[in-house]
Structure 1
Amino acid sequence: MKIFGLAGWSGSGKTTLMVKLLGELVSRGYRVSTIKHAHHAFDVDKPGKDSYEHRQAGAAEVMVSSAQRWALMHEHRGAPEPTVKDLVAQMTPVDLLLIEGFKRESHPKLEVHRPGVGKPLLQPEDPQVVAVASDSRLDGLSVPVLDLDDVSAIADFILTHQGLTLRKEGVA
């Protein structure tokens, strides 16, 4: 399974780009999944729901299933946060697995950078950043710089980098 990440500081536009990329890649006939890193304590469950009560009672994992989807919630219960490698092992194989966040993990990444956010580039310090997408001109980088608004060109770059055949839009 091919793995490629989007990394950058909070507020840089990673999620906005991810959603646009997903639409672009799926429209080209690729099966794509994602792993999203959450920086804060988050919960997909709600108090009062049976699954929430199961977790609160101590279940290590709770699976919720319906005719439309299923979801598995795994409680760390004091164990360390899993690595990208650990999480990838849980995923069903697809054409391309996109990782959002996990900027300190070792996998090929596109850095999403907006100088207006006021944060430094990750690229000079992270050899896994193979390109940068920005809303501004960036000179002197050792990797390609792509226009953050040109989602088609970014998709082409990722597919080529991952050795996936470029497909025309709408072709399955």
Structure 2
Amino acid sequence: MKVFSVFGYTGSGKTTTIENIIKELKKRRYSVGSVKEIHYEDFAIDTVGTNTHRHKMAGSELVTARGYYETDILFPEKISMEKLLSFYDQDYVVLEGVTDYNLPKILSAKNIEEIEERIDESVFAISGRISNEIDSYKGIPVINSMDNIDKLVDMIEEKVFDKLPDFDANCCTACGYDCRTLGIKILKGEAKRGDCILSQSKVRLFIDDRKIDMVPFVQKILYNAIHGVVSELEGYKKDAKIKIEIGNEDE
């Protein structure tokens, strides 16, 4: 799954850019998901007095509203981007306004000042209203999504890579970089997605069919613990593939 963000100031053309990107990705036969980050402290889809709100106030930890044409799952908290993305399995997921996660970004801006205030090394393209005035900024392409969406999505196909983990630098630098620096290196062509040690992992953990990323230290603990137990069993062979499934205690 490939994930990227379009971010910038209100009125810069973010949503229009995202709409055009989604349409073009669909035209190219990709499956697409999206996430809208809302920077408004009082935001809530659920309103006081509704039945779902009453469920939440009574203590329900997860509330779902299931209608004829839509199902809304309501978490009474802001969940992490990692957990949120675990609900997606599309080819591309487009995030609007997300800047606190390890991923490539498109900056949407109205003027040079907004570019200078928000740009960082994770930005691989610029779009929005400023694209009516310039076609590049310090070597970064500035592309109008209204009349040049092919070029913008070509860049997305070229630059956006399979989602990287976002481990703290104190947890993992097995590839030689922290996760965010590796992402920047990949964008610059100075590293490859396969350099992430998780791509070479011999240990994979799934919980309810959701893959859980583990730093090398945790992988080593799990690997040694499992091999230490099963090596004493009849039928064990060195270097054999081992698969373990654990159900509920009541099963």
- What TM-score results when the alignment is normalised by the length of structure 1? 0.78
Q: Structure 2 stretches of 5 or more lacking a match?
A: 163-251
Q: Kindly tell me: are residues 145 and 139 of structure 1, through their superposed partners in 2, closer, same or farther at Cα, counting changes over 3 Å? A: closer
Indicate the percent of aligned positions where both proteins have the same amino acid.
Answer: 24
The corresponding residue for 2:51 is 50
Q: Kindly tell me: are residues 72 and 102 of structure 1, through their superposed partners in 2, closer, same or farther at Cα, counting changes over 3 Å? A: same
SS at match of 1:3: strand
Q: Does 1:130 align with 2:124?
A: yes
Q: Does 1:88 align with 2:85?
A: yes
The corresponding residue for 2:28 is 28
> Which amino acid in the other structure matches residue 142 of structure 1?
G
> Which amino acid in the other structure matches residue 159 of structure 1?
E
Q: Does 1:119 align with 2:140?
A: no
Distance 1:131 1:18 in 2: 13
Matched-pair contact (CA < 8 Å) for 1:8–1:103:
no
Q: Which has the higher contact order (CA 8 A, sep 6+)?
A: 1
In proportion to residue count, which structure has more helix? 2
The corresponding residue for 1:37 is 37
SS at match of 1:147: coil
- What TM-score results when the alignment is normalised by the length of structure 2? 0.56
Deviations 1:66-104 (A, max 9, x none): 34221111012xxxx444223212x22011011111224
The two structures, once aligned, show a CA RMSD in angstroms of 2.3
In proportion to residue count, which structure has more strand? 1
Distance 1:74 1:32 in 2: 23
The corresponding residue for 1:110 is 106
Q: Which structure's CA Rg is the greater one?
A: 2
Q: Kindly tell me: are residues 20 and 140 of structure 1, through their superposed partners in 2, closer, same or farther at Cα, counting changes over 3 Å? A: closer
Q: Structure 1 stretches of 5 or more lacking a match?
A: 165-172
SS at match of 1:107: coil
After the TM superposition, list the runs of 4 or more consecutive aligned residues in structure 1 that deviate by more than 3 angstroms: none
Q: Kindly tell me: are residues 119 and 140 of structure 1, through their superposed partners in 2, closer, same or farther at Cα, counting changes over 3 Å? A: closer
Q: Does 1:158 align with 2:156?
A: yes
Distance 1:44 1:6 in 2: 23
